Amino acid sequence: MSPTLEVNMPSDLELQFSRFFAAPLDLVWEVHTKGEHLARWQGPHSVKYSKYEVDCRPGGTWDSVCTDSDGNEQRFYGEIREVEPKCRLVLTFVWDGAPNHPLINTVTFESVDGGTRASYHSLFTDKGSRDGMVAYGMERGVKEGFEKLDVLLSSMGAAQ
């Protein structure tokens, strides 16, 4: 199965993307729920995390701080709303630069063809927030993050 990123916008408030990873479900779940792994793969190549903490349980929180290549620091954080281990994760996503525009991210995981398909759904508060994230380069950041994730999964023993 191809690792092609599939992106679509089913409504003015939604953004969906999915990607196949040549790694077992257990491993893909782990790298999506532990801060020490998330810090190594989320975001574009130019981003480095100084903090990434996750309390992966309903009512838990996540909190991250990253710096881009220009030295700009940004904080992203939220609440974990639902956890179905190795199946589904629902959390809020808040950027310090727009704290009044949180989004709800849902990630589902499925074992397919010897690997795992992860599907991501983002629900925004308004069309402008969604369009702003897309214009800011979200797709490039996601693609580059998944490139880093492929390397991480390989280093953890997944076949590529």
**pTM listed for this prediction:** 0.93
> Which of 27-31's residues contact partners 24+ apart within 8 Å by CB, and which partners?
27/116, 27/153, 27/156, 27/157, 27/158, 28/109, 28/116, 28/118, 28/153, 29/85, 29/86, 29/109, 31/149, 31/152, 31/153, 31/156
pLDDT: which is higher, 133 or 53: 53
Per-residue pLDDT band at 2 (split at 50, 70, 90): low
Does the pLDDT at position 160 exceed 70? no
**9-29 mean pLDDT:** 97
pLDDT greater at residue 7 or residue 11: 11
pLDDT band (50, 70, 90) for residue 60: very high
Residue 126 binned pLDDT confidence (cut-offs 50, 70, 90): very high
pLDDT value for 118: 98
Instruction: Go through the domains of the chain in sequence order and give each one's CATH number.
Output: 6-155 (3.30.530.20)
Strand partners, 103: 93
Q: Using pLDDT thresholds of 50, 70 and 90, give the confidence band for residue 87.
A: very high
Q: What is the structure's pLDDT at 111?
A: 98
Is the pLDDT higher at 86 or at 132? 86
Name the CA dihedral angle for 139, 145, 151, 153, rounded to a multiple of 10 degrees.
-100
